């Protein structure tokens, strides 16, 4: 996927769900994976021409895994002139050595977000961008249906009143396949996950289920996404469709 296409999808999400306002300071949560690095490129590119001027910072919560080298990401942020902060934590030790959790994902996510949000506020940011893409949104909907009995998924924009912080998801229209293509084309400095349960989660089950459904019923994946967009989900902001002039370029 070319950068221009990525910027087009990103602007579509930002415009339709009013994710960025004038003067926003947005933190990009960097896990080290392909999704968050693609998001960093998307917002860095968008900042060049978006009419609402905003500033950008990047932040990583280091869970405490050994040999988790972030030097290439630090160098990428330096070249982009994006301030980068690494938050050291003891989350891995707490989950796997002290508590010996057999299903650590939920607790890990809560602890990681807590550390992330606190650091974001200390950096003076009023928004945080998460790298959830279209496939994440569809898979979350399926997980919610199967395990919670409700039709629900990530919201494009969510205000956390206790933190006075807004979460945005600018990659919501980007397919995971396009993220993989972008990573390969631009040789993103991905840092492989060190988590011992990576790939053995309910989310992986949902990913495989979506793939199977779409293979057996072509177009099922896109129809599920359409149902989410038009389903009036609780907590989702109103969607604003804006017609931009043909001369409005993303370069």
In order of start, what are the domains of the chain with their CATH numbers?
A: 3-230 (3.40.50.620)
Q: What is the three-class DSSP state of 28?
A: strand
| Number of residues that make up the chain | 251
Taking only the tens place, the pLDDT of each residue in 210-230 is: 999 999 999 999 999 999 999
In whole angstroms, give the CA distance from residue 33 to residue 133: 13
Q: Which two three-digit tokens encode residue 170?
A: 């600018």
Say which residues have a Cβ less than 8 Å from residue 112's Cβ, sequence separation at least 6: 61, 63, 89, 91
Q: Which two three-digit tokens encode residue 83?
A: 């301030």
Whether this prediction's pTM lies above 0.85 is answered by yes
pLDDT tens-place values along the chain, 251 residues long: 999 999 999 999 999 999 999 999 999 999 999 999 999 999 999 999 999 999 999 999 988 887 889 999 999 999 999 999 999 888 888 888 888 877 787 888 889 888 999 899 999 999 999 999 999 999 999 999 999 999 999 999 999 998 899 999 999 999 999 999 999 999 999 998 777 776 667 888 999 999 999 999 999 999 999 999 999 999 999 998 764 443 344 44
Nearest CA to 118 among 160, 69, 171, 81?
160
pLDDT at 248: 46
């Amino acid at each position: 996927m070319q950068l221009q296409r990525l910027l087009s999808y990103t602007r579509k999400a930002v415009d339709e769900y009013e994710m960025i306002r004038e003067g926003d300071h947005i933190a990009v949560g960097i896990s080290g994976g392909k999704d968050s690095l693609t998001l960093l490129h998307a917002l860095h590119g968008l900042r060049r021409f978006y009419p609402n001027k905003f500033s950008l910072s990047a932040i990583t919560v280091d869970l405490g895994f050994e040999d988790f080298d972030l030097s290439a990401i630090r160098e990428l942020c330096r070249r982009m002139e994006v301030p980068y902060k690494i938050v050291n934590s003891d989350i891995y030790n707490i989950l796997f050595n002290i508590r010996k959790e057999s299903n650590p994902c939920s607790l890990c996510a809560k602890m990681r977000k807590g550390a992330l949000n606190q650091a974001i506020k200390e950096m003076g940011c009023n928004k945080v961008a998460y790298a959830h893409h279209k496939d994440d949104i569809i898979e979350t909907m399926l997980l919610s249906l199967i395990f919670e009995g409700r039709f629900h998924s990530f919201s494009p924009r969510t205000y956390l009143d206790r933190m006075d912080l807004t979460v945005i998801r600018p990659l919501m229209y980007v397919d995971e396949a396009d993220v993989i293509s972008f990573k390969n084309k631009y040789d993103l400095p991905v840092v492989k996950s060190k988590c011992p349960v990576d790939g053995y989660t309910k989310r992986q089950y949902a990913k495989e289920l979506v793939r199977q459904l779409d293979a057996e019923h072509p177009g099922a994946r896109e129809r599920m996404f359409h149902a989410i967009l038009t389903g009036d989900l609780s907590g989702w902001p109103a969607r604003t469709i804006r017609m931009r002039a043909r001369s409005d370029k993303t370069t």
